[in-house]
Structure 1
């Protein structure tokens, strides 16, 4: 499959350390603000929300918290993550499905696509298909919540960070590459654990500029009502952003 297309589930698992080790993913992302921001946006734009569909739910970490407030269903492309979610969070309704093509047969008050899931769809046709999936699960007034890169991360020098894991602290070296033609931001990571064990992964994400998101949403029947970086109402500084849109027809 071309590098411009979404990677198949097996390739995704091979390329991303978190997908190979869902428990590590949960541990590293345990302090994520995603659910807090998501709930604030829902309270602002659709406070009567009762039902939510999460496309790209991964391990179900965010879905578990959202399910404390809404009737939720999660969908993810990768069987390994779905199996992990079902095993560790058996109370959740989590299903395997490709968000370009999945059809659950019902609508919801809120459609969520968090954790940069949309960024793994690299080609324009695939992105259009994802928005068609959103429209297929929407009714007038349904809220769409997206979290994805809106600008590239560009660094001339490697970034060095320390990340707490279930196996101790990992020293991570990250190199970024930006391909303007394809709008793909590549992140190459080298992990070194306290034990000396090493791991490597490569993550490629499609960057969608705000006006592109406006266009894809409009073509699918949604009107964008807010874009924010999550640090304040209406603030948009990049590289990541939450986009809120409402289905109109």
Structure 2
């Protein structure tokens, strides 16, 4: 397994938003993940009081959830965690690798949103991530996942406009799909407000619904429900699942 420091450096180097946490915060400003998560908790575990979020980024969603729950956030990227400490000092956000981290706490709700699980590509390491979820779940805890379940296969590029702290940026996006590895690669070409250009590359592992189910059941979670949907924005249309699991 790649060391957490090396993995974090690689992900940061290949993603402009991770190199610029303030920009990451702005781009994620319209995220509805926290509200969706809160709705699911009210439906499936209304008595929940504690929550841990793996892959919490700068803590924007966690800040919303912390109004209702006692929360801990964990993210692999030290830069995002440092930004979270400055921007949201009241939150408990820690640097850690979802494959290996152990907080010695068990929570009512475990979340992994924002496609964070999709950055784990190796089968064994995906199992390790689910073992981490289980290690932090109380009996009957709720596990909420958001992860791509279908690839983006179109070949023509798309163009998006992104608001940044210094003005509008234009992003041209192109996708590649590797069926054998189930890796969906997104190539982005940025034209920033100052006129500078940048490129980055996002590689996500697509886990089809039955795969997610097998990983969950192997970690002793019972699948309650899966839903499919599409989102739009910087990354273009994305197929995703918001899966609800309960630990047996």
Q: Shorter-chain TM-score: what band?
A: over 0.9
Q: Map 1:4-15 onto structure 2 (within 5 A).
A: 8-15=7-14
User: CA deviation digits over 1:195-224, x for unaligned, max 9?
Assistant: 211111000000000000000000000011
**Alpha-carbon contact 1:7-1:120 (below 8 Å) kept:** no
Please, what is the CA RMSD of the aligned residues?
A: 1.8
User: CA deviation digits over 1:139-182, x for unaligned, max 9?
Assistant: 21000001110000111100111111112111110010000000
Q: Map 1:168-183 onto structure 2 (within 5 A).
A: 168-183=167-182
Q: Distance in 2 between matches of 1:7 and 1:158?
A: 31
Q: Which runs of 4+ in 1 moved over 4 A?
A: none
TM-score (norm 1): 0.93
Aligned residue in 2 for 1:242:
242
Gaps of at least 5 residues in structure 2 are 231-236
Q: Distance in 2 between matches of 1:58 and 1:83?
A: 10
SS in 2 for 1:155: coil
**Alpha-carbon contact 2:121-2:205 (below 8 Å) kept:** yes
**Alpha-carbon contact 2:189-2:199 (below 8 Å) kept:** yes
Aligned residue in 2 for 1:99:
98
Q: Map 1:223-242 onto structure 2 (within 5 A).
A: 223-229=222-228, 239-242=239-242
Q: Distance in 1 between matches of 2:28 and 2:73?
A: 18
TM-score (norm 2): 0.93
Gaps of at least 5 residues in structure 1 are 232-236
SS in 2 for 1:139: strand
